[in-house]
């Protein structure tokens, strides 16, 4: 089992990595954890990123049963077992956090099958056609079993209810008092089951991840930490309710600033600290304000082209694509539908031209670039080249096409990045009023993470690290000196939630 001594030993191997105790678990954890939200099994760079994190001093991993439809847990299990078998880490050093509550994709299919067979999970909340939610003991037992299988582990260190407030959002109970009583009854039943899971050895501790811990207590979907603590203490004075998780960032800082506990006398973070709870923060770089996502990060600018120059590149690419279609694709020995597919995949210029004004974020454009445009273009290039293996002219033509495509995509990304970085100057200016000389040199993402980690009541900030560069970025933040004036920043910076 993961042990206090094991986690301390791990952290001691990395003197530059700052750490804190995870509440009453007493596990010593790195002040940044590896967030598994957008990682998936089968993507090599995700595996390399996790390996680098674990071998660099990060010993807390956070995931969930619904991340990549279980693919996140599978990848984590493979990496952990690989490194353990290679004697690079030991299981007792690492804290694995996962969650349950969502029925989507394969989980939803399971829920529907159970319902059709006459053995539905209890207390299902049907949110939408594609999303159900449940925290009933029978569902949680099933989910812990599946998570252990995917992770290929004997036990889970911390298991969290994943956004149980979905019940408050979608319950058919119209009376607010009845709805609230039912909400906390369901949480109590879940906690009673978790205590049984602790006794069986399948989990060590449990808690709640909620997006509404830091909201005003008047909101319909507010989750009261005070009431949750009371429930845990009712079950047992020696309960294993030990960890809570919530969103917190430069803009969403209710956990730090809103007095929503004990008759509006304490904040969420104050009460969590007083009750020796480990606090995990998610979404440190993805703020949601007025239903708009704000990415708190600077972006690299590798190209510096005007809009006119970008459209000139698009036209140049369009001519190259037309040439490839007319001279080569039309003569490939494929069926008409297969040819159309190759043509569609190589038509990058038309996609960029018709959607150019819709690209508004470097992050979302990069996602489109890496998961859609480049794979499609590579497929078309491979289809053409394998049909003309001895043609040196086509090799040069395809190479030129690939270079033009990359330059064009980088140019569009850089234009969006430059605009976003100008907007970020406002955040830098406000933060730098509270920063020392070295802190001012950090990127916006590093500053945003460091400001959260500077808050003593926050145990660890969960950061998505999809490749090794993200890990390097986070490690620099972890090793940086904390903000001495963090309280002044959170209360006086102008970001405080009113």
Q: Are residues 189 and 258 in the same domain?
A: yes
CATH number at residue 72: 3.20.20.100
For the chain, the domain total comes to: 2
Is the CB of residue 364 less than 8 Å from the CB of residue 330?
Answer: no
Residues 6+ apart with CB under 8 A from 455: 256, 269, 486, 490
Q: Are residues 284 and 369 in the same domain?
A: no
Mean pLDDT of 34-42: 95
Phi, psi (5° rounding) for residue 178? -65, -40
Mean pLDDT of 103-114: 97
Mean pLDDT of 263-270: 97
pLDDT, tens digit, 9 for 90 and up, residues 201-212: 999 999 999 999
Domain final residue pick, 382, 404, 421: 421
Q: For residue 441, tell me if it sits in a domain.
A: no
Q: For residue 141, tell me if it sits in a domain.
A: yes
Mean pLDDT of 11-16: 96
Q: Are residues 107 and 234 in the same domain?
A: yes
Q: For residue 385, tell me if it sits in a domain.
A: yes
Instruction: Return the pLDDT at 398.
Output: 95
Q: Which two tokens stand for residue 190?
A: 């879940």
Domain final residue pick, 295, 329, 360: 295
Query: Over 60: is that where the pLDDT of 497 sits?
Result: no
Q: For residue 30, tell me if it sits in a domain.
A: yes
Q: For residue 453, tell me if it sits in a domain.
A: no
Q: Are residues 239 and 345 in the same domain?
A: no
493: pLDDT confidence band, cut at 50, 70 and 90?
low
Q: For residue 26, tell me if it sits in a domain.
A: yes
Mean pLDDT of 238-246: 98
**Does an H or E element contain 131, and which?**
strand 131-133
pLDDT, tens digit, 9 for 90 and up, residues 358-382: 998 999 999 999 999 999 999 999 9
Instruction: Return the pLDDT at 259.
Output: 97
Is the CB of residue 58 less than 8 Å from the CB of residue 460?
Answer: no
pLDDT, tens digit, 9 for 90 and up, residues 44-90: 999 999 999 999 999 999 999 999 999 999 999 999 999 999 999 99
Q: Are residues 193 and 312 in the same domain?
A: no
Residue 317's alpha-carbon distances to 83, 198, 321, 408, 423, in angstroms, are: 45, 60, 6, 9, 31
Q: How far apart are CA 11 and CA 254, in angstroms?
A: 31
Q: Is 428 helix (H, G, I), strand (E, B) or coil?
A: helix
Containing structural domain, residue 365? 307-421
Q: Are residues 246 and 316 in the same domain?
A: no
Mean pLDDT of 130-134: 98
Residue 258's alpha-carbon distances to 223, 262, 279, 421, in angstroms, are: 13, 12, 16, 30
Cβ neighbours around 266 below 10 Å, total: 17
Q: Are residues 196 and 227 in the same domain?
A: yes
Residue 139's alpha-carbon distances to 102, 121, 134, 475, in angstroms, are: 10, 6, 7, 37
Q: For residue 253, tell me if it sits in a domain.
A: yes
Q: For residue 119, tell me if it sits in a domain.
A: yes
Instruction: Return the pLDDT at 498.
Output: 35
Mean pLDDT of 314-334: 94
Instruction: Return the pLDDT at 495.
Output: 47
pTM of the full structure: 0.92
Q: Are residues 229 and 373 in the same domain?
A: no
Q: Match 């480049």 to its residue by tokens.
A: 374
Length of the chain: 498
Instruction: Return the pLDDT at 372.
Output: 95
Q: Which two tokens stand for residue 429?
A: 């200016």
Across the chain, mean pLDDT equals 95
Q: Are residues 265 and 168 in the same domain?
A: yes
Domain final residue pick, 254, 272, 295: 295
Q: Match 């500053």 to its residue by tokens.
A: 447
Q: How far apart are CA 73 and CA 62, in angstroms?
A: 9
Q: Are residues 194 and 274 in the same domain?
A: yes
Q: Which of 205, 192, 100, 80 is nearest to 142 (CA)?
A: 100
464: left (phi over 0), alpha (psi -120 to 50) or beta: beta
Is the CB of residue 78 less than 8 Å from the CB of residue 46?
Answer: no
Q: Are residues 95 and 229 in the same domain?
A: yes
Q: Are residues 194 and 45 in the same domain?
A: yes
Query: Over 50: is that where the pLDDT of 494 sits?
Result: no
Instruction: Return the pLDDT at 389.
Output: 83
Residues 6+ apart with CB under 8 A from 132: 102, 103, 104, 108, 111, 124, 125, 126
Query: Over 70: is that where the pLDDT of 496 sits?
Result: no
Q: Pairing mode, if any, of strands 259-261 and 241-247? A: unpaired
- For 163, which DSSP code? -
Query: Over 60: is that where the pLDDT of 431 sits?
Result: yes
Is the CB of residue 151 less than 8 Å from the CB of residue 96?
Answer: yes
């Amino acid at each position: 089992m993961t042990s206090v001594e094991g986690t301390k030993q791990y952290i001691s191997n990395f003197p530059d990595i700052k750490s804190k105790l995870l509440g009453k678990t007493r596990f010593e954890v790195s002040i940044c954890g590896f967030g598994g939200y957008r990682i998936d099994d089968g993507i090599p760079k995700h595996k390399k990123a996790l390996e680098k994190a674990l071998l660099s001093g990060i010993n807390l991993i956070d995931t969930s049963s619904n991340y990549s439809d279980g693919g996140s847990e599978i990848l984590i299990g493979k990496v952990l077992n690989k490194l353990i078998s290679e004697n690079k880490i030991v299981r007792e050093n690492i804290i694995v956090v996962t969650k349950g509550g969502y029925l989507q994709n394969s989980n939803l299919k399971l829920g529907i099958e159970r319902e059709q067979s006459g053995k539905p999970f209890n207390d299902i909340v049907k949110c939408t056609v594609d999303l159900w939610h449940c925290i009933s003991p029978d569902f949680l037992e099933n989910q812990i079993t599946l998570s252990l299988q995917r992770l290929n582990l004997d036990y889970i260190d911390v298991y969290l209810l994943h956004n149980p407030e979905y019940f408050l959002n979608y319950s058919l109970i119209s009376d607010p008092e009845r709805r609230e009583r039912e909400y906390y009854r369901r949480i109590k039943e879940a906690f009673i089951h978790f205590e049984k899971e602790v006794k069986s050895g399948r989990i060590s501790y449990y808690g709640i991840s909620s997006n509404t811990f830091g909201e005003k207590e008047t909101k319909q979907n507010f989750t009261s930490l005070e009431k949750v603590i009371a429930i845990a203490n009712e079950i047992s004075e020696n309960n294993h309710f030990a960890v809570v998780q919530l969103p917190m960032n430069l803009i969403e800082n209710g956990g730090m600033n809103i007095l929503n506990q004990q008759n509006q006398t304490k904040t969420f973070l104050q009460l969590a600290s007083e009750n020796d709870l480990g606090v995990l923060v998610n979404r440190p770089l993805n703020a949601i304000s007025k239903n708009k996502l704000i990415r708190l990060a600077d972006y690299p600018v590798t190209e510096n082209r005007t809009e006119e120059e970008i459209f000139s590149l698009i036209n140049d690419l369009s001519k190259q694509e037309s040439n490839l279609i007319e001279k080569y694709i039309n003569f490939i020995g494929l069926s008409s539908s297969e040819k159309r597919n190759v043509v569609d995949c190589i038509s990058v210029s038309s996609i960029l031209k018709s959607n150019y004004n819709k690209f508004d974020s470097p992050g979302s454009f990069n996602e489109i670039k890496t998961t859609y445009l480049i794979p499609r273009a590579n497929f078309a290039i491979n289809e053409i080249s394998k049909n003309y293996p001895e043609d040196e002219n086509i090799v040069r033509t395809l190479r030129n096409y690939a270079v033009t495509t990359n330059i064009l995509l980088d140019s569009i990304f850089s234009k969006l990045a430059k605009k976003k970085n100008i907007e970020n100057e406002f955040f830098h200016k406000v933060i730098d009023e509270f920063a020392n000389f070295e802190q001012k040199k950090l990127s916006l993402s590093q500053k945003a993470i460091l400001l959260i980690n500077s808050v003593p009541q926050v145990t660890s900030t969960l950061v998505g690290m999809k490749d090794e560069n993200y890990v390097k970025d986070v490690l620099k933040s972890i090793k940086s000196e904390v903000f001495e004036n963090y309280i002044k920043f959170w209360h006086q910076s102008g970001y405080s939630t009113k």
